[in-house]
Amino acid sequence: MSLHTSSGAKGGSKRGGYLARLTVISTLGGLLFGYDTGVISGALLYMNDSLDMNAVEEATVVSALLFPGAAVGALLGGRLADWLGRRSTLLVCALLFFVGAIGCAIAPTVEFMVLARVILGLGVGAAAVTCPLYLAEMAPSHLRGRMVTINELMIVTGQMLAFAINALLDALIQDTEVWRTMLGIASVPALALLAGMLLLPESPRWYAIRDRLSDSRRILDLSRTPEEAEKEFNEIVASAGTAKKERGHVWRDLKANPWMRKLLWIGIGLATVQQATGINTVNYYAPTILEKSGLGVSASLVATIGVGVTSVLTTILGIWLLGFVGRRKMLIIGFSGVAGSQALLAIVFLLPQSDLVSYTILGAMMLFVAFVQCFIGTCVWLLLSEIFPMAIRGFAMGIAVFVLWTVNAAISFAFPIVNSTLGSTGTFALFVAVNLISLGFVWKFVPETKGRSLEELESDFRVHNEVPVRATA
């Protein structure tokens, strides 16, 4: 998974090191995204008593980060990324992460906690839009898939760390207020993101669309050979010339260009089907599901670490596979596997309660998570960063991620209610049906983007005035 560039040994090593540092620092936003969405699953087990929450207040605390927090953050983040730049927007995200983490840790009431979670959500939503955009625009085309999907790896790593830290603190601190420490730890990587982004440059494509062409070329020279930088710079200049005429007229351009509208609808569809897998029912409620299946609180927290480890390992596998397998094929395998593993979950929940059944449920959850993270999570964020033309990239990404977080919030809020009404078997059977529909959407509408620069993709879509589904690499 190394980030090599094609050149002489010394120059290539220097450029590879630069890209590696850039990727690690900028994806700290993904790490915080993962930690802040994952930590609540363990914190809830203690927070309920400490803040005396009822079921509606519990659902509100969980979903406030997602909606209005992350959903609004995605809309604002897309516009900020176009206006302030990708780097400056990530600095704003770091401040939101820090303020939100401290607010959650000191929250004296449910209302204060909800407000702090909304602030965190603004950071999560804006970072979810901006970080993939930044990486896609900074990466050489042959490394774009792996660099962008490292953000997904950091998200699931953050979730795994949240599960592991929850279990560790539960074992070390015998105090019902331990949830404050669980939530407050997120302030540390927030400060690291803030400090690190101060050292990184702005996107060369953002510079180009503002006529700062010398800055654009300078940034390209940091990570490309002179020949690669020259070729990509000429493509960017040509694309930026068109984008500058369209910039600021997003709705007019969407109305005038059917291919742009279709790309936006495909992006919205991808965002919807990713969340419709039901992945966040596991991320947010795994300890609760396992506890209700018969495991104790501490055993449920420890068992959930297995879900986090599965997410990380299968995301690494997915990033590796992206070097060889097309985006469409990855998604088709993923949704087929998700439907199968959820059918298995639905069946297992019919068995009598026992420790064996609890661990079988855990195993089925891990299989489900493996298919999502290996084949779907890696691809959806990558495709969203690739398919939109430069003139509407930040705006369109913001709309798509707004939909993603809105669907996420709706499913997360509805899951406990649906589960209590239909039972676990009925709930996961419903997810099977939804994911079969998602499979049909991918098969019919999602284009292949592997192996081409962002400018080549835009040119292809623009010239054909349509979105070729089975575009060749």
List, for residues 56-109, the tens digit of each pLDDT value.
888 788 888 888 898 899 889 888 998 899 999 999 999 999 999 999 999 999
The arithmetic mean of pLDDT across residues 34-43, rounded, is: 83
Structural domains of the chain, with CATH = 9-200+248-464 (1.20.1250.20)
Locate tokens 């516009």: which residue? 79
The least confident of 37-46, 282-291, 336-345 is 282-291
Give the least confident one: 125-139, 189-203, 453-467: 453-467
- Amino acid occupying residue 67: F
Residue 32 pLDDT exceeds 60:
yes
What is the Cα–Cα distance from 225 to 406, expressed in whole angstroms? 42
Distances (CA, A) of 300 to 190, 292, 359: 28, 9, 10
Judge whether residue 1 has pLDDT over 60. no
Residues shown for the chain: 473
Q: What average pLDDT score do residues 237-250 get?
A: 71
Q: Is the pLDDT of residue 323 over 60?
A: yes
What region does 465 belong to: left with phi over 0, alpha with psi -120 to 50, or beta? Answer: left
pLDDT of residue 473: 39
Measure the CA–CA gap between 403 and 271, rounded to whole angstroms: 6
Average pLDDT over residues 9-27: 82
28: left (phi over 0), alpha (psi -120 to 50) or beta: alpha
Tell me which of 281 and 189 has the higher pLDDT.
Answer: 189
Question: 0.85 exceeded by the pTM?
Answer: no
Percent of the chain whose predicted confidence (pLDDT) is above 90? 39
